[in-house]
Structure 1
Amino acid sequence: MAHVIVQVNGRPYTMQCPEGEEPHLRDLAELLDSEVQRVKASVGNVGDIRMLVMAGLMVADRLSEAIERIRELEEQVDGLREARNAAQMEALEIQATLGERLMVASERLEVLARHLGK
Protein backbone atom coordinates (compact mmCIF):
# COMPACT_ATOMS: atom_id res chain seq x y z
CA MET A 1 0.00 0.00 0.00
CA ALA A 2 1.18 3.50 -0.81
CA HIS A 3 0.95 6.41 1.61
CA VAL A 4 -0.23 9.79 0.35
CA ILE A 5 -0.52 13.05 2.24
CA VAL A 6 -3.53 15.05 1.07
CA GLN A 7 -4.70 18.48 2.15
CA VAL A 8 -8.32 19.14 3.05
CA ASN A 9 -9.29 22.47 4.56
CA GLY A 10 -5.63 23.34 4.96
CA ARG A 11 -4.89 20.26 7.06
CA PRO A 12 -2.72 17.33 6.04
CA TYR A 13 -4.11 13.80 6.17
CA THR A 14 -2.04 10.69 5.57
CA MET A 15 -4.02 8.17 3.54
CA GLN A 16 -3.30 4.71 2.19
CA CYS A 17 -4.16 3.50 -1.28
CA PRO A 18 -3.09 0.74 -3.66
CA GLU A 19 0.19 1.33 -5.49
CA GLY A 20 -0.37 3.43 -8.60
CA GLU A 21 -3.58 5.03 -7.30
CA GLU A 22 -1.83 7.99 -5.68
CA PRO A 23 -2.74 10.56 -8.39
CA HIS A 24 -6.39 9.48 -8.26
CA LEU A 25 -6.46 9.82 -4.48
CA ARG A 26 -4.96 13.31 -4.76
CA ASP A 27 -7.63 14.25 -7.33
CA LEU A 28 -10.36 13.01 -5.00
CA ALA A 29 -8.92 14.99 -2.11
CA GLU A 30 -8.83 18.10 -4.31
CA LEU A 31 -12.49 17.57 -5.19
CA LEU A 32 -13.43 17.23 -1.53
CA ASP A 33 -11.33 20.25 -0.60
CA SER A 34 -13.02 22.35 -3.30
CA GLU A 35 -16.40 21.43 -1.84
CA VAL A 36 -15.14 22.28 1.66
CA GLN A 37 -14.07 25.68 0.36
CA ARG A 38 -17.52 26.22 -1.20
CA VAL A 39 -19.19 25.33 2.10
CA LYS A 40 -16.82 27.62 3.95
CA ALA A 41 -17.57 30.47 1.54
CA SER A 42 -21.32 30.09 1.90
CA VAL A 43 -21.79 29.31 5.60
CA GLY A 44 -18.50 30.27 7.17
CA ASN A 45 -16.34 28.14 9.42
CA VAL A 46 -18.73 25.70 11.11
CA GLY A 47 -16.22 23.20 12.43
CA ASP A 48 -14.23 20.56 10.60
CA ILE A 49 -16.56 17.61 11.09
CA ARG A 50 -19.73 19.47 10.11
CA MET A 51 -17.96 21.10 7.16
CA LEU A 52 -16.68 17.74 5.93
CA VAL A 53 -20.14 16.22 6.30
CA MET A 54 -21.68 19.10 4.34
CA ALA A 55 -19.01 18.86 1.64
CA GLY A 56 -19.46 15.08 1.50
CA LEU A 57 -23.19 15.54 1.03
CA MET A 58 -22.56 18.01 -1.78
CA VAL A 59 -20.26 15.53 -3.50
CA ALA A 60 -22.84 12.77 -2.93
CA ASP A 61 -25.50 15.00 -4.49
CA ARG A 62 -23.35 15.54 -7.58
CA LEU A 63 -22.73 11.80 -7.75
CA SER A 64 -26.44 11.10 -7.45
CA GLU A 65 -27.19 13.50 -10.30
CA ALA A 66 -24.47 11.91 -12.43
CA ILE A 67 -25.86 8.42 -11.77
CA GLU A 68 -29.35 9.58 -12.76
CA ARG A 69 -27.99 11.19 -15.94
CA ILE A 70 -26.14 7.98 -16.81
CA ARG A 71 -29.38 6.02 -16.32
CA GLU A 72 -31.21 8.42 -18.64
CA LEU A 73 -28.48 8.16 -21.26
CA GLU A 74 -28.51 4.36 -21.03
CA GLU A 75 -32.27 4.43 -21.65
CA GLN A 76 -31.71 6.66 -24.68
CA VAL A 77 -29.03 4.30 -26.00
CA ASP A 78 -31.41 1.35 -25.54
CA GLY A 79 -34.12 3.24 -27.43
CA LEU A 80 -31.72 4.06 -30.24
CA ARG A 81 -30.62 0.43 -30.45
CA GLU A 82 -34.23 -0.68 -30.71
CA ALA A 83 -34.91 1.92 -33.41
CA ARG A 84 -31.79 0.82 -35.32
CA ASN A 85 -32.84 -2.83 -35.13
CA ALA A 86 -36.34 -1.96 -36.34
CA ALA A 87 -34.88 0.08 -39.21
CA GLN A 88 -32.61 -2.81 -40.17
CA MET A 89 -35.54 -5.22 -40.18
CA GLU A 90 -37.58 -2.81 -42.29
CA ALA A 91 -34.66 -2.43 -44.72
CA LEU A 92 -34.43 -6.22 -45.06
CA GLU A 93 -38.16 -6.44 -45.72
CA ILE A 94 -37.94 -3.68 -48.34
CA GLN A 95 -34.95 -5.41 -49.93
CA ALA A 96 -36.86 -8.69 -50.12
CA THR A 97 -39.94 -6.99 -51.57
CA LEU A 98 -37.83 -5.13 -54.10
CA GLY A 99 -36.10 -8.35 -55.09
CA GLU A 100 -39.46 -10.05 -55.65
CA ARG A 101 -40.76 -7.13 -57.72
CA LEU A 102 -37.61 -7.08 -59.84
CA MET A 103 -38.03 -10.81 -60.52
CA VAL A 104 -41.66 -10.28 -61.58
CA ALA A 105 -40.64 -7.34 -63.80
CA SER A 106 -37.81 -9.39 -65.31
CA GLU A 107 -40.17 -12.26 -66.09
CA ARG A 108 -42.64 -9.85 -67.72
CA LEU A 109 -39.86 -8.31 -69.82
CA GLU A 110 -38.78 -11.76 -70.97
CA VAL A 111 -42.36 -12.57 -71.96
CA LEU A 112 -42.61 -9.25 -73.84
CA ALA A 113 -39.27 -9.83 -75.55
CA ARG A 114 -40.35 -13.29 -76.68
CA HIS A 115 -43.68 -11.92 -77.85
CA LEU A 116 -42.04 -9.08 -79.79
CA GLY A 117 -39.47 -11.45 -81.26
CA LYS A 118 -42.16 -13.54 -82.99
Structure 2
Amino acid sequence: MPDLEITIGGRSFQVACQPGEEHFLRAAAAMLDSEAQPLVAQMGRLPEARMLLMSGLMLADKAAAIEDENRQLKAKLAEIEARPVPEREKLQVPVIPPQVVETLAELAARAEALADRLEEGKVS
Protein backbone atom coordinates (compact mmCIF):
# COMPACT_ATOMS: atom_id res chain seq x y z
CA MET A 1 0.00 0.00 0.00
CA PRO A 2 1.63 3.29 -1.07
CA ASP A 3 2.33 5.88 1.60
CA LEU A 4 1.97 9.52 0.55
CA GLU A 5 2.84 12.74 2.24
CA ILE A 6 0.13 15.35 1.77
CA THR A 7 0.01 18.92 3.02
CA ILE A 8 -3.15 20.53 4.35
CA GLY A 9 -3.12 23.99 5.85
CA GLY A 10 0.67 24.05 5.96
CA ARG A 11 0.87 20.76 7.89
CA SER A 12 2.17 17.50 6.51
CA PHE A 13 0.39 14.18 6.95
CA GLN A 14 1.43 10.63 6.07
CA VAL A 15 -1.44 8.68 4.55
CA ALA A 16 -1.78 5.34 2.81
CA CYS A 17 -3.92 4.48 -0.16
CA GLN A 18 -4.59 1.62 -2.55
CA PRO A 19 -2.14 1.18 -5.45
CA GLY A 20 -3.26 3.34 -8.37
CA GLU A 21 -5.30 5.66 -6.13
CA GLU A 22 -2.45 8.11 -5.47
CA HIS A 23 -3.73 10.69 -7.95
CA PHE A 24 -7.20 10.72 -6.37
CA LEU A 25 -5.76 11.08 -2.88
CA ARG A 26 -3.57 13.99 -3.97
CA ALA A 27 -6.58 15.66 -5.66
CA ALA A 28 -8.73 15.23 -2.53
CA ALA A 29 -5.93 16.58 -0.32
CA ALA A 30 -5.56 19.59 -2.64
CA MET A 31 -9.29 20.32 -2.31
CA LEU A 32 -9.10 20.11 1.47
CA ASP A 33 -5.96 22.26 1.49
CA SER A 34 -7.68 24.93 -0.62
CA GLU A 35 -10.29 25.21 2.15
CA ALA A 36 -7.72 25.13 4.96
CA GLN A 37 -5.41 27.84 3.57
CA PRO A 38 -7.88 30.74 4.05
CA LEU A 39 -8.70 29.49 7.56
CA VAL A 40 -5.05 29.46 8.55
CA ALA A 41 -4.53 32.88 6.97
CA GLN A 42 -7.49 34.37 8.87
CA MET A 43 -7.16 32.67 12.25
CA GLY A 44 -3.49 31.85 12.46
CA ARG A 45 -2.32 28.53 13.78
CA LEU A 46 -5.32 26.35 14.62
CA PRO A 47 -5.26 23.00 16.38
CA GLU A 48 -4.92 20.27 13.76
CA ALA A 49 -8.29 18.69 14.48
CA ARG A 50 -10.13 22.03 14.33
CA MET A 51 -8.43 23.01 11.06
CA LEU A 52 -9.32 19.67 9.46
CA LEU A 53 -12.89 19.81 10.83
CA MET A 54 -13.51 23.35 9.58
CA SER A 55 -11.94 22.60 6.19
CA GLY A 56 -13.99 19.43 5.85
CA LEU A 57 -17.20 21.25 6.77
CA MET A 58 -16.52 24.02 4.25
CA LEU A 59 -15.82 21.44 1.56
CA ALA A 60 -18.95 19.50 2.53
CA ASP A 61 -20.97 22.72 2.25
CA LYS A 62 -19.73 23.21 -1.31
CA ALA A 63 -20.50 19.58 -2.12
CA ALA A 64 -24.03 19.97 -0.70
CA ALA A 65 -24.60 23.07 -2.83
CA ILE A 66 -23.45 21.16 -5.93
CA GLU A 67 -25.72 18.22 -5.06
CA ASP A 68 -28.66 20.60 -4.60
CA GLU A 69 -27.97 22.23 -7.97
CA ASN A 70 -27.62 18.77 -9.53
CA ARG A 71 -31.01 17.74 -8.08
CA GLN A 72 -32.64 20.89 -9.47
CA LEU A 73 -31.10 20.33 -12.89
CA LYS A 74 -32.24 16.69 -12.91
CA ALA A 75 -35.79 17.79 -12.02
CA LYS A 76 -35.74 20.38 -14.79
CA LEU A 77 -34.43 17.80 -17.25
CA ALA A 78 -37.15 15.33 -16.23
CA GLU A 79 -39.75 18.07 -16.73
CA ILE A 80 -38.41 18.85 -20.20
CA GLU A 81 -38.25 15.17 -21.15
CA ALA A 82 -41.84 14.66 -19.92
CA ARG A 83 -43.21 17.31 -22.28
CA PRO A 84 -45.15 15.86 -25.20
CA VAL A 85 -43.30 15.82 -28.46
CA PRO A 86 -44.83 18.43 -30.75
CA GLU A 87 -46.36 17.14 -33.94
CA ARG A 88 -44.30 17.63 -37.02
CA GLU A 89 -45.42 20.49 -39.12
CA LYS A 90 -46.77 19.46 -42.49
CA LEU A 91 -45.49 21.46 -45.39
CA GLN A 92 -47.83 22.01 -48.28
CA VAL A 93 -45.94 22.16 -51.55
CA PRO A 94 -48.04 23.84 -54.20
CA VAL A 95 -48.63 21.68 -57.24
CA ILE A 96 -47.95 23.29 -60.58
CA PRO A 97 -51.20 23.36 -62.56
CA PRO A 98 -51.12 21.30 -65.78
CA GLN A 99 -51.82 24.35 -67.95
CA VAL A 100 -48.59 25.99 -66.70
CA VAL A 101 -46.61 22.90 -67.66
CA GLU A 102 -48.27 22.88 -71.09
CA THR A 103 -47.58 26.59 -71.60
CA LEU A 104 -43.93 26.18 -70.63
CA ALA A 105 -43.59 23.23 -73.05
CA GLU A 106 -45.14 25.33 -75.82
CA LEU A 107 -42.78 28.25 -75.10
CA ALA A 108 -39.82 25.89 -75.13
CA ALA A 109 -40.90 24.46 -78.49
CA ARG A 110 -41.30 27.99 -79.94
CA ALA A 111 -37.85 28.97 -78.64
CA GLU A 112 -36.28 25.88 -80.21
CA ALA A 113 -38.05 26.57 -83.52
CA LEU A 114 -36.85 30.18 -83.45
CA ALA A 115 -33.31 29.01 -82.68
CA ASP A 116 -33.46 26.58 -85.62
CA ARG A 117 -34.65 29.34 -87.96
CA LEU A 118 -31.83 31.62 -86.75
CA GLU A 119 -29.29 28.93 -87.51
CA GLU A 120 -30.72 28.47 -91.02
CA GLY A 121 -30.70 32.23 -91.55
CA LYS A 122 -34.43 32.49 -92.26
CA VAL A 123 -35.19 35.13 -89.61
CA SER A 124 -35.39 38.69 -90.78
- The verdict on a shared fold, with TM-score over 0.5 as the criterion, is yes
Matched with 1:43 is 43
Matched with 1:53 is 53
Question: Number of residues paired by the alignment?
Answer: 91
Matched with 1:3 is 3
Structure 2 residue 74 is the aligned partner of structure 1 residue 74 = yes
TM-score by length of structure 2 reads 0.64
Q: Following the alignment from structure 2 to structure 1, what is the Cα–Cα distance between the partners of residues 53 and 20?
A: 28
In the TM superposition, residue 38 of structure 1 has moved relative to its aligned partner by 1.2
Residues 59 and 72 (structure 1), Cα distance of their counterparts in 2 relative to 1, 3 Å cut: same
Q: Following the alignment from structure 1 to structure 2, what is the Cα–Cα distance between the partners of residues 15 and 27?
A: 13
In the TM superposition, residue 30 of structure 1 has moved relative to its aligned partner by 0.9
SS at match of 2:38: helix
Deviation string, structure 1 residues 70-93 (Cα, Å, up to 9, x no partner) = 10011011011112xx12xx427x
* Sequence identity percentage: 31
Q: Is the 8 A contact 2:35 2:59 kept in 1?
A: yes
Matched to 1:29, the amino acid is A
Gaps of 5+ in 2: 91-124
Query: How do residues 1-118 of structure 1 correspond to structure 2 at under 5 angstroms?
Result: 1-83=1-83, 86-87=84-85, 90-91=86-87
Q: Following the alignment from structure 1 to structure 2, what is the Cα–Cα distance between the partners of residues 50 and 17?
A: 24
In the TM superposition, residue 3 of structure 1 has moved relative to its aligned partner by 2.3
Deviation string, structure 1 residues 21-63 (Cα, Å, up to 9, x no partner) = 1111101101111111111122332322111111111001001
Q: If you compute each CA radius of gyration, which structure gives the higher value, 1 or 2?
A: 2
